[in-house]
């Protein structure tokens, strides 16, 4: 069977696009998730066109072999981890911006294009691609689409799916479907575009996307505020979101502030309970006024320190603490970046619960993230060579998911379910919705070859 499969792939792909080298296969087994398991693939393929992706899936269907698609491998939930005997389908060669329309404000891209590459191309035309996951400099747009990735600007501009106008998708049997189109409004038929975005490669392989661009926003005004309690910070977030539309509203808890100050001294007050960072990209006097209103909300909520700036360099300096958060934890040990989301009114409860879990389990956990939409990233730090520490971290990870659901939240706001959160999915969805998910999966992938064991 192995020889037959390799021969069939070699017949439809260039010789350099079929790889069986053991070291290369090893490098394509995992994404960046901490402890998600991975199998050993049978072969890695690197198609360069939609037609070649079709050919791979037809071979896979004929041989009943699983296919795991991957882009840059920067995921954080095990969503592109290999399964034993699978074909790993790398989309890195499909990395062209096919069209950039400056009048209708859209770009047509292949899935291997890096998020930052599209941002740079748009910026050259005075335009902006809004979705901005923290991995924007190295994550692929295909991966962003597969997980419906978010980022710091989501609070105003939405997640990846909000920028998608249309898709080209290769189905499990090798047929191609086009969804959506090039218009901002399009309600013809079922919204298949939304179905494929965030499906983590379990329903089809995205080979082309038409993405919405925006005019480049003006320089931002930045605000930083410190709070003596989580409740005070939560109150400020609620007040800001009731009447304003910040382009960014981020929160860091005490543990995160202390980790950043330890490894990148910025003069932060390590005794604060929380640090809130906000931005307005309204521009000019309007942006300054909007930030002033956010500052007033922070002061009314009990902030002990508030500073704002409309100078770009100073604004970046104020944002430095947030940007260093994850790298600071990586210096402490193995860092597993979680991703949960709750209604913003429940943020203080979530943060307090994470602190209790950290104490009870004896695990270092710092929480930071997107306060404006309730999407937090509790980050667990442990020694992966110590079985006891790993076990305690796994228990704490599960505790956080349980608390999140109890607070009316979701297991994932932007990283996806993948392998890490699959055991909890039915608890969030319910039995009827889970059954419907399986029905859709069976309809589009009746042989079950697309990224098996993920999501569902």
pLDDT at 312: 87
Q: Is the pTM of this model over 0.85?
A: yes
| Domains recognised in the chain with CATH numbers | 2-90 (3.30.43.10), 97-215 (3.30.465.10), 217-328 (3.30.70.3450), 333-416 (3.30.70.2740)
pLDDT at 318: 85
Binned average pLDDT, 10 residues per bin, the chain of 456 residues: 86 97 97 89 98 98 98 95 98 98 98 98 97 93 97 94 98 98 95 98 98 96 96 96 95 96 93 97 94 97 95 88 92 94 96 97 97 97 95 97 98 96 97 98 98 95
The number of beta carbons lying within 10 Å of the beta carbon of residue 429 is 16
Q: Which residues of 199-218 are buried (b: 16+ CB within 10 A; e: fewer)?
A: bbbbbbbbbbbbbbbeeebe
CA distance 27 to 79: 15
Q: Which of 367, 355, 347 is nearest to 231 (CA)?
A: 347
pLDDT at 314: 87
Radius of gyration (C-alpha) of the chain in whole angstroms: 22
pLDDT at 33: 87
pLDDT at 2: 62
pLDDT at 148: 97
Q: What is the DSSP string of 286-336?
A: HHHHHHHHHHHHHHHTT-SEEEEE--HHHHHHHHHHHHTHHHHHHTTSEEE
What are the φ and ψ backbone dihedral angles of 115, each rounded to 5 degrees?
Answer: -50, -50
Residues 6+ apart with CB under 8 A from 281: 156, 217, 218, 219, 220, 247, 287
pLDDT at 223: 96
């Amino acid at each position: 069977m192995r020889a037959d499969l390799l021969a069939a792939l070699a017949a439809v792909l260039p010789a350099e696009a079929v790889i069986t080298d053991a070291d290369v296969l090893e490098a394509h087994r995992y994404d960046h998730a901490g402890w998600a398991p991975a199998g050993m693939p049978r072969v890695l393929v690197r198609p360069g066109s939609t037609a070649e992706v079709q050919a791979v899936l037809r071979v896979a269907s004929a041989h009943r072999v699983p296919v795991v698609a991957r882009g840059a491998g920067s995921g954080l939930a095990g969503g592109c981890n290999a399964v034993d005997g699978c074909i790993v389908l790398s989309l890195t060669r499909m990395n062209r911006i096919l069209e950039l329309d400056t009048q209708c404000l859209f770009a047509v891209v292949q899935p291997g294009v890096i998020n930052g590459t599209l941002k740079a191309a748009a910026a050259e035309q005075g335009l902006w691609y809004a979705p901005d996951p923290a991995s924007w400099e190295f994550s692929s747009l295909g991966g962003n689409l597969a997980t419906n990735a978010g980022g710091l600007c989501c609070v105003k501009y939405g997640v990846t799916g909000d920028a998608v106008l249309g898709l080209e998708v290769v189905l499990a049997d090798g047929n191609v479907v086009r969804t959506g189109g090039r218009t901002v409004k399009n309600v013809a038929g079922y919204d298949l575009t939304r179905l494929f975005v965030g499906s983590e490669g379990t329903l089809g392989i995205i080979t082309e996307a038409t993405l919405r661009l925006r005019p480049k926003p003006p320089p931002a005004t930045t605000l930083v505020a410190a709070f003596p309690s989580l409740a005070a910070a939560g109150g400020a977030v609620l007040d800001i979101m009731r009447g304003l539309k910040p382009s960014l509203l981020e929160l860091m808890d005490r543990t995160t502030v202390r980790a950043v100050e330890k490894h990148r001294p910025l003069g932060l007050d390590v005794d604060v309970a929380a640090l809130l960072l906000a931005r307005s990209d309204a521009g000019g006097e309007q942006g300054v006024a909007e930030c002033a209103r956010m500052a007033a909300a922070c002061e009314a909520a009990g902030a002990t320190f508030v500073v704002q700036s409309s100078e770009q360099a100073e604004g970046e300096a104020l944002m430095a603490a947030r940007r260093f958060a994850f790298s600071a934890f990586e210096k402490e040990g193995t860092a597993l970046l979680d991703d949960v989301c709750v209604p913003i009114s429940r943020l203080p409860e979530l943060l307090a619960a994470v602190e209790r879990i950290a104490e009870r389990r004896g695990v270092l956990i710092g929480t930071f993230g997107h306060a404006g939409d309730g999407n937090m990233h509790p980050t667990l730090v442990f020694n992966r060579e110590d079985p006891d520490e790993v076990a305690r971290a796994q228990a704490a990870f599960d505790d956080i998911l349980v608390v999140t659901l109890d607070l009316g939240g979701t297991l994932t706001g932007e990283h996806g379910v993948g392998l890490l959160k699959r055991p909890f999915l039915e608890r969030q969805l319910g039995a009827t919705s889970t059954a419907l998910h399986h029905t859709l999966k069976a309809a589009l992938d009746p042989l079950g070859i697309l990224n098996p064991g993920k999501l569902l």
